[in-house]
Amino acid sequence: MKILVCISKTPDTTAKIAFTDNNTKFNEAGVQFIINPYDEWYALVRALELKETLGATVHLVTAGGADTEPIIRKALALGGDEAFRINTDSQDSFYIASQIADHARKQGYDLIFTGKETIDYNGAAIGGMVAELLDLPYVSIAAKFELNGTEAAIHREIEGGEEIVKVTLPVVVSCQKGMAEQRIPGMRGIMAARTKPLAVVEPAAADALTTITSFELPPAKAGVKLISPDNVEELVKLLHEEAKVI
């Protein structure tokens, strides 16, 4: 059984966000980058659990420049067997999905895991596009994945309850909280990751359908007004006239 896990490089959640080049590019100066948490904590760890119980092979793929290699090496340290870096810096979802689909088509995976979204762009588009390009079934925002032979039972949280979807492999699944528990790489894994295969693949011919024209930071938060608990009339007035919530 071969599993592909899609890995993205994202800024740490504590990073201070700023833009350059007339607000058209993200300023990476001084920013600490991590594996996208949805990719690491849920997609990758669930794949590793399947490796441990079923003897599956876990491949990793990312699309990016050489600066993404420390990120994918960490994913190898967690337990991935082999990694592929598609050598492109595009931010277009369709283009990235086309690259992943082209790689997956050549390798013939039984299961493709993605995180439900990346924490920087929050597009949640890659998994569905990859499935469409490969003509495979797609199950999104999965919270639990169980496998019995070639049939998967996938649990999804829906409004007011839970949905259980059954599908025959191969399938593409995007993963969210509940799929697995976070792991930390051990020293043995870190040392082993240095020698695990990491192949650099040139991108396939594909069109980029979108371009980023500009970024904009949200407006700064207004100051907080403190009202004495004895002054109920003033509180009601502010809630009505300024906050406009009553």
pLDDT confidence of residue 37 = 95
- Sequence-ordered list of residues with C-beta below 8 angstroms from that of 99, at least 6 positions apart, any chain: 63, 86, 88, 203, 204, 206
Report the percent of the chain where pLDDT is more than 70. Answer: 100
More confident residue, 206 or 226: 206
Banded model confidence at residue 240, pLDDT cuts 50, 70, 90: confident
At residue 226 the predicted structure's pLDDT band, cuts being 50, 70 and 90, is confident
The CA distance from 235 to 214, in Å, is 40
Average pLDDT for 218-230: 82
* pLDDT tens, residue by residue, 178-199: 999 988 888 889 999 999 999 9
Question: For position 113, what pLDDT does the model report?
Answer: 98
Mean pLDDT of 55-71: 95
Averaged pLDDT for residues 122-130: 95
pLDDT at 166: 97
Average confidence (pLDDT) over 122-151 = 96
**The model scores a pTM over 0.95:** no
User: Does 3.40.50.720 match the CATH number of domain 2-218?
Assistant: no
Domain assignments of the chain as residue spans, ordered by start: 2-218
Helices 93-107 and 126-134 sit at what angle, rounded to 10 degrees?
A: 50
Distance CA 91, CA 215 (A): 13
91-120 residue pLDDT tens: 899 999 999 999 999 999 999 999 999 999
- Which residue, 108, 107, 70, is CA-closest to 190? 70
Q: For residues 214 and 229, what is the distance between their CA atoms, to the nearest angstrom?
A: 45
Summarize pLDDT for 1-49 with one digit per residue, the tens.
999 999 999 999 888 888 998 898 888 888 999 999 999 999 999 999 9
